Structure 1
Amino acid sequence: MNNSSLLKHLRWIFPFVLCPLVLSGCWDRREINDVAFVLASSIDKENDLYRISILIPLPGNMGGASGGGGGTGGVEPYTIETEAANTIWEAVDKIQSRLPRKIFFAHRRVLLFGEDIAKDGMTIPMNYLADRPENRLSTFVAVTKGKAMDLLGAKVKLERFSAELMRELLQSDATIKTSEKDIITNMNLIGKDAFIPYLELNKAETNGNKSDEIVSTGFAITNNGKEVAVLKNNDALALRLLAPKFSMYSQRLKIDGERFSYQVRNVKTVIKPIINGNQINFEISVVAMADINEFLSTKDIFEEMPKFQKIIESQMKKDLLQVLDILKTKGSDVVGFGQILNRHYPERWSKDWEPQWNTVFAKTNFKVTTKVHIYDIGALSGNMVKKGN
Structure 2
Amino acid sequence: MRKTAAFVWLLLTCAVMSGCWNRIELNEISIVAATAFDLEGDDWVISYQTIIPSTISSGMGMTGGGSNQSPVTVFTTRGRTIREAVNKSSSESPRWLFFAHTNILIVSDRVARGGMSQILDLYFRNPDARETVNVLITKGSARAILEQLMSIEKIPGQGIREIIYNESRNSSRLPSVMMYELAMAMTGDARSAMIPEILISGEPEGASLDALKKTSQTSKLRLGKLAVLRGDRLAGWLTKEEGLGVSFITDKVKSSILPFSCNSSDGKTYNSSFRLLTSSTKLSPVKEREHFVMNVDIKAGGYLLESDCVLDLSEPETIDRLERQLQGEIAQILEKSWRAARRLNVDVFGFADAVHRKYPKEWKKIKDDWEAVFPHIEMKPRVTVSMDRVGLSNKSFKTLKKDDGG
Give deviations 1:343-379, integer Å, cap 9, x for gaps. Answer: 222222122x111111111111111111111112222
2:307 is aligned to 295
| CA RMSD, 1 decimal | 2.7
In the alignment, is the contact (CA less than 8 A) between 1:273 and 1:283 conserved in 2? yes
CA distance, structure 1, for counterparts of residue 386 and residue 191 of structure 2: 31
Specify whether residues 70 and 27 from structure 1 end up closer, same or farther in structure 2 by C-alpha distance, changes over 3 A only: farther
1:39 Cα shift?
0.5
Matching of residue 363 in structure 1 with residue 357 in structure 2: no
Counterpart check, 1:338 vs 2:352: yes
Q: How big is the shift at 1:136? A: 0.7
CA distance in 1: counterparts of 2:355 and 2:270, whole angstroms: 43
5 Å matches for 1:117-136? 117-136=111-130
Q: For the Cα contact (< 8 Å) 1:192–1:337, is it kept in 2?
A: no
Equivalent residue number for residue 100 of structure 2: 106
Whole-Å Cα distance in 2 between the matches of residues 71 and 258 of structure 1? 48
In structure 2, the residue matched to 1:232 is 239
Q: In the alignment, does 2:367 pair up with 1:373?
A: no
1:179 to partner: Cα distance? 0.6
Unaligned runs of 5+ in 2: 204-210, 264-268
Query: Counterpart of 1:26 in 2: which secondary structure?
Result: coil
Q: What is the rounded CA distance, in whole Å, between the counterparts of 2:42 and 2:5 in structure 1?
A: 67
Specify the alignment match of 2:364 in structure 1: 350
Task: Return the offset for 1:50.
Answer: 2.1
Measured at CA, do residues 159 and 66 of structure 1 come closer, stay the same or move farther in structure 2, by a change above 3 Å? closer
**For 2:302 and 2:225, how far apart are their aligned partners in 1?**
21
Query: How much has 1:10 moved relative to structure 2?
Result: 8.2
Q: Give matches, 1:266-277, under 5 Å.
A: 266-277=278-289
Mapped contact 1:192–1:335 kept (Cα < 8 A): no
Query: Which residue of structure 2 aligns with residue 249 of structure 1?
Result: 256
| Distance (whole Å) between structure 2 residues aligned to residue 284 and residue 44 of structure 1 | 39
Q: Which of 26, 32, 35 is equivalent to 1:38?
A: 32
Deviation at 1:31, TM superposition (A): 0.7
The 1:66–1:285 alpha-carbon spacing in structure 2 relative to 1, beyond 3 Å, is closer
Q: Distance in 2 between matches of 1:208 and 1:123?
A: 42
Give the 3-state SS of the residue equivalent to 2:217 in structure 1: strand
One-letter identity of the residue aligned with 1:156: M
Matched AA of 1:20 = A
Alignment of 1:196-211 (within 5 A): 196-203=195-202, 209-211=216-218
Call closer, same or farther: CA 1:309–1:245 in 2, change over 3 Å: same
Alignment match, 1:318: 332
Q: How many Å separate the matches in 2 of 1:71 and 1:28?
A: 39
User: Residue 261 of structure 2: SS of its match in structure 1?
Assistant: strand
The aligned length equals: 381
Which runs of structure 2 are paired with 1:208-219 in the superposition (5 Å)? Answer: 209-219=216-226
Alpha-carbon offset, residue 107 of structure 1: 0.8
Aligned to 1:169: 163
Q: Distance in 2 between matches of 1:120 and 1:66?
A: 42
Structure 1 equivalent of residue 183 of structure 2: 184
User: In structure 1, what is the equivalent of residue 22 of structure 2?
Assistant: 28
CA contact (8 A) 1:156 1:212 kept: no
CA distance in 2, matches of 1:258, 1:225: 39
1:384 & 1:348 partners in 2: Cα distance?
57
What does residue 297 of structure 2 align with?
Answer: 285
Post-superposition CA distance 1:179-200 (Å, at most 9, x none) = 1000011111223411122222
Residue number in structure 2 paired with 1:89: 83
Of residues 16, 19, 30 in structure 1, which corresponds to 2:14? 19
Determine if the alignment matches structure 1 residue 60 to structure 2 residue 54. Answer: yes
Q: Could you say which residue in structure 1 is the equivalent of 2:206?
A: none
What amino acid is aligned across from residue 291 of structure 2 in structure 1?
Q
Could you tell me how far 1:65 is from its partner in structure 2? 6.2
**C-alpha distance in 2, partners of 1:27/1:71?**
40
SS at match of 1:157: coil
The gaps in structure 1 that reach 5 residues or longer are none
Residues 225-275 of structure 1: per-residue CA shift (max 9 Å, x gap): 112222223212111102243331112222235601112221111111111
Q: 2:262 touches 2:309 (CA, 8 Å); kept in 1?
A: no
Deviations 1:165-222 (A, max 9, x none): 1111122225322110000111112234111222222138997742532222342111
Where 1:372 maps in the other structure, the secondary structure is strand
Going from structure 1 to structure 2, the CA distance change for 1:277 and 1:382 (only over 3 Å counts) comes to closer
**8 A Cα contact 1:155 1:211, kept in partner:** no
Partner of 2:208: none
Match of 1:360, SS state, is helix
SS of residue matched to 2:333: helix
Percent identity over paired residues: 21
